[in-house]
């Protein structure tokens, strides 16, 4: 559904004091995106009309720099949700269509839910349509008030509600579609005569109803979808819902996720059918896992690529720029960064490989480290190149920049500082020296 006569206002100016954080609530990270970005992902498919994000003065510059395709309106003083939406009026000057109003702290919203709300509004043409929820457990949300004929007469916030009103199960989700003219008129009637001393957007409903304008509702089938996030606990609960959605999508497409409850895959990751993800695995950023590859258990991928049939894990860490080509392996307690491991090559255990190129059919033995620090301040890090069909020894260090030619072997315990020609055997550190009876003699001297 795309329509040019639907504007969207996203309220994202609140501080979220219950988060107990210096970071504004809407900008908290949530499974690979900031909370606000999840909301924007839900609203963007609906409208090619204006998209206005209402923000606080101290977040405006950062949001402008990081979010494309939106206009920003600043709520200079936090005077409530009604004032937040009123802050968007200048940005929507001359717009006379419908206005979708959503909160920037509702990361579980889906385009399908919002599309149903907008379609219901378009069918009935009221002044406003409210998305309502009826959760099994009571929540501190506004209650929908109706008269004896079932007509909506207003919304009362939880803090202002009587005990009888708090017993109402039909709750306001704080998500609406307004006719623009009715919205601006009702906002002009708001006052701060309430428990919070704020301008409530919910009070527009009572004003519109009192003026004889029709108020409609549209119920969400799953009340969780409209949940807002106000605390750290609610943030974690929202993350779990998003995790389950992402995992379900991948499993439906043919990915084997052994234990979805312990697997966290961010939304921009790509997993091909027949990839296998083992328990306690985190796949972040734009990581890619090809068909037949296995990742985990206890593996972390960040902007890494695991090729067809490759193995990553258990207990490995693939950092940005890592590429495991087909049938390669990164094994137990291995960390790789900004490196390419060639086809069928293996880094089986206890190694750090950074800023390196490893050819095909090479085995990097345990305890390998590529020392890629710059030799002079301000200079780029050096790279280590290890060719194809190379056998390194245990406890090798490679002081970059250095190149190991194809078909070479490196002796155990060697620190490689010079290039090794193809087909060579390099290393030979000092051999073991054994002093028989040394400790016995030391004790006798005492």
Active site residues: 349
Both tokens of residue 42? 């839900």
- The number of beta carbons lying within 10 Å of the beta carbon of residue 57 is 11
Q: Nearest to residue 316, comparing CAs of 344, 291, 341?
A: 341
- Residue linked to tokens 């890592």: 322
Both tokens of residue 368? 């390998």
CA distances from 39 to 22, 80, 110, 349 (A): 21, 20, 8, 42
What does the alpha-carbon distance between residue 192 and residue 14 come to, in Å, rounded to a whole number?
17
Both tokens of residue 11? 């309220």
């Amino acid at each position: 559904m795309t329509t040019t006569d639907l504007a969207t206002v996203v309220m994202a100016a609140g501080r979220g004091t219950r988060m107990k954080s210096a970071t504004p609530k809407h900008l908290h990270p949530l499974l690979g995106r900031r909370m606000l970005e999840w909301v924007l992902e839900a609203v963007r498919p609906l409208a090619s009309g204006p998209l206005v994000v209402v923000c606080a003065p101290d977040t405006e510059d950062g949001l402008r720099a990081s979010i494309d395709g939106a206009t920003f309106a600043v709520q200079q003083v936090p005077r409530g949700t009604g004032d937040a939406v009123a802050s968007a009026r200048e940005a929507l000057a001359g717009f006379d269509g419908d206005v979708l109003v959503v909160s920037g702290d509702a990361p579980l919203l889906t385009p399908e839910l919002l599309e149903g709300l907008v379609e219901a509004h378009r069918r009935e043409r009221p002044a406003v349509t409210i998305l309502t929820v009826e959760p099994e457990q009571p929540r501190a949300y506004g209650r929908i008030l109706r008269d004896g004929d079932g007509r909506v007469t207003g919304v009362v916030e939880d803090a202002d509600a009587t005990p009888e009103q708090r017993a109402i199960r039909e709750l306001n989700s704080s998500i609406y579609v307004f006719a623009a003219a009715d919205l601006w008129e009702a906002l002009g009637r708001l006052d701060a005569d309430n428990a919070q001393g704020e301008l409530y957007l919910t009070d527009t409903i009572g004003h519109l109803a009192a003026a004889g304008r029709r108020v409609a509702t549209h119920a969400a089938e799953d009340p969780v979808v409209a949940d807002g996030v106000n605390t750290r606990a609610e943030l974690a609960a929202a993350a779990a819902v998003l995790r389950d959605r992402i995992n379900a999508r991948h499993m439906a497409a043919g990915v084997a996720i052994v234990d979805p409850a312990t697997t966290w895959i961010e939304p921009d990751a790509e997993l091909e059918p027949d990839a296998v993800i083992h328990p306690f695995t985190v796949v972040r950023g734009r990581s890619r896992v090809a068909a037949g590859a296995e990742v985990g258990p206890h593996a972390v991928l960040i902007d890494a690529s695991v090729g067809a049939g490759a193995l990553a894990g258990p207990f490995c860490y693939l950092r940005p720029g890592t590429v495991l080509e087909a049938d390669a392996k990164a094994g137990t307690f291995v960390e790789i960064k900004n490196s390419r491991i060639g086809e069928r090559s293996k880094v089986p255990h206890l190694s750090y490989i950074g800023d390196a190129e490893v050819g095909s059919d090479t085995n990097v033995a345990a305890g390998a480290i590529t020392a890629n620090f710059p030799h002079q301040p301000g200079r780029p890090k050096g790279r280590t190149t290890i060719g194809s069909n190379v056998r390194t020894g245990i406890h090798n260090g490679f002081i970059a920049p250095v190149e190991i030619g194809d078909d070479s072997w490196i002796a155990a315990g060697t620190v490689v500082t010079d290039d090794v020609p193809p087909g060579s055997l390099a290393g030979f550190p000092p051999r073991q020296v054994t002093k028989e009876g040394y400790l016995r003699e030391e004790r006798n001297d005492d």
